[in-house]
């Protein structure tokens, strides 16, 4: 376990010692005594938070609404900059799910989540309570990671896969850092633009162009955190100019690129998810045709 300090914030952060069973699933453990309101920065993954400590995380969102305890949030959660997390004596395992595997793992499409948050109790019922108890009974982070990994691997194996063509397009967008062209991707899998938009949106929770925009923002925001100048980040990540980057950052976070460079949610990433820039390829169950062969 490592200690992350950023201003007055002090978090204990744990990472699994070995890779998990499901490609596209990563996790980290957090212990935070006092979590002052923390802006949730949008991320191109589904977030599954499993809390088990004596305290309870609270997410404030949507003009006064709150979510307490374990939750699931769709890709892009936090867009607009008005979502905050806070709490005391928090202990939790946070899981990031590629949208490609989220439907199988969760038993619900990311499209059902949108850019909002859902209590895990509402999604999994009593199983959510049993997970919380089991995590609390385990004495080490590695045991907790192993338990969560086995649980989600079983769910993934039993759940419905996305279309192989949709998975292939997602990976092409990720590999291209959000700079691919929708028409070109549709042509490569032999689909119309309309069909790609419909299938992609219904299975991954966002349209292809929305995915591109979010992935490009994620790349740019982490470059800003790494200390790169905004003008150079704009050039390297495919924005028309620095003003274009500024507008996107404001739209996603409600803040300027300068402020985003110091966001704790982003600064902790290199500790909690040190391999986040790698993009392992998924083997899609039930794949057929050329798109499936290319995953």
pLDDT at residue 255 greater than cutoff 50: yes
Q: Which fold does the domain 2-158 belong to in CATH?
A: Jelly Rolls (2.60.120)
Question: What tokens appear for 229 in the block?
Answer: 């100048």
Rounded CA gap, 244 and 38, in Å?
A: 26
Residue 8 has a pLDDT of 76
Which two structure tokens, joined as six digits, stand for 183? 């028409």
User: Does the pLDDT at position 275 exceed 70?
Assistant: no
**Can you tell me the distance from the alpha carbon of 206 to that of 114, in angstroms, rounded to the nearest whole number?**
8
Mean predicted confidence (pLDDT) in 219-237: 95
Sign of CA dihedral 105, 149, 151, 124: negative
Whether residue 8 contacts residue 148, with contact meaning beta carbons closer than 8 Å, is answered with no
- For residue 147, what is the enclosing H or E element? helix 141-158
DSSP state of 206: S
**Residue 94 burial (C-beta neighbours within 10 Å; 0-12, 13-18, 19+):** middle
Under 8 Å between Cβ of 12 and 31: yes
Q: What is the pLDDT of residues 43-93, one digit of tens each?
A: 999 999 999 988 889 999 877 889 999 999 999 999 998 899 999 999 999
Query: Per the structure block, which two tokens stand in for 18?
Result: 């070995």
Cα angle value 184/188/192 (rounded, 5°): 75
- The tokens 């162009």 sit on which residue? 209
* 36 pLDDT more than 50: yes
Angle at 128 between CA 127 and CA 129, to 5 degrees: 90
277 has a pLDDT exceeding 70: no
CATH of 164-293, one of 3.40.190.10, 3.40.640.10, 3.90.1150.10, 1.10.10.60: 1.10.10.60
β partners of residue 29: 14, 93
pLDDT of residue 5: 85
Q: What CA–CA distances, in Å, run from 130 to 46, 70, 118, 148, 152?
A: 22, 12, 18, 12, 14
Report if pTM > 0.85: yes
Compute the distance between CA of residue 79 and CA of residue 77 in angstroms, rounded to an integer: 6
pLDDT digits (tens, 9 = 90+) for 109-152: 898 887 789 999 999 999 999 999 999 999 999 999 999 999 99
Tokens of 275: 């391999």
Classify 157 as helix, strand or coil. helix
Count the Cβ atoms, other than its own, within 10 Å of residue 183: 11
Q: Is the pLDDT of residue 286 over 70?
A: no
Delimit the CATH 2.60.120.10 region(s) of the chain.
2-158
| C-alpha span between 93 and 86 (Å, rounded) | 15
Every domain range in the chain assigned CATH 1.10.10.60: 164-293
Question: By the 8 A CB rule, do 23 and 278 touch?
Answer: no
């Amino acid at each position: 376990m490592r200690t992350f300090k950023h201003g007055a914030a002090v978090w204990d952060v744990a990472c699994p010692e070995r890779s998990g069973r499901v490609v596209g699933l990563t996790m980290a453990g957090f212990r935070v005594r006092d979590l002052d309101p923390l802006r949730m920065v949008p991320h191109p993954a589904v977030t599954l938070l499993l809390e088990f400590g004596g305290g309870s995380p609270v997410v404030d969102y949507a003009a006064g609404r709150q979510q307490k305890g374990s939750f699931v949030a769709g890709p892009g959660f936090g867009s607009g900059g008005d979502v905050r997390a806070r709490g005391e004596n928090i202990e939790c395992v946070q899981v990031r799910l590629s949208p490609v595997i989220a439907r199988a793992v969760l038993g619900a499409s990311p499209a059902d989540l949108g850019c909002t948050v859902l209590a895990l109790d509402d999604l999994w019922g009593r199983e959510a309570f049993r997970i919380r108890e089991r995590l609390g009974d385990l004495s080490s982070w590695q045991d907790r990671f192993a338990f969560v990994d086995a649980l989600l691997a079983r769910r993934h194996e039993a759940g419905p896969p996305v279309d192989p063509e949709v998975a292939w397009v997602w990976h092409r967008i990720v590999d291209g850092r959000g700079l691919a062209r929708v028409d070109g991707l549709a042509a490569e899998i032999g689909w119309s633009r309309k069909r790609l938009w419909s299938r992609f949106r219904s299975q991954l929770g966002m349209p292809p162009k929305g995915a591109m925009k979010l992935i490009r923002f994620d790349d740019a925001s982490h470059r800003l955190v790494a200390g790169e100048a905004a003008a150079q980040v704009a050039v390297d990540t495919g924005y028309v100019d620095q003003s274009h980057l500024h507008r996107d950052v404001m739209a996603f976070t409600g803040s300027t690129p300068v402020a985003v460079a110091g966001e704790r949610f982003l600064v902790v990433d290199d500790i909690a998810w040190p391999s986040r820039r790698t993009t392992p390829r998924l083997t899609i169950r039930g794949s057929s045709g050329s798109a499936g062969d290319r995953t």
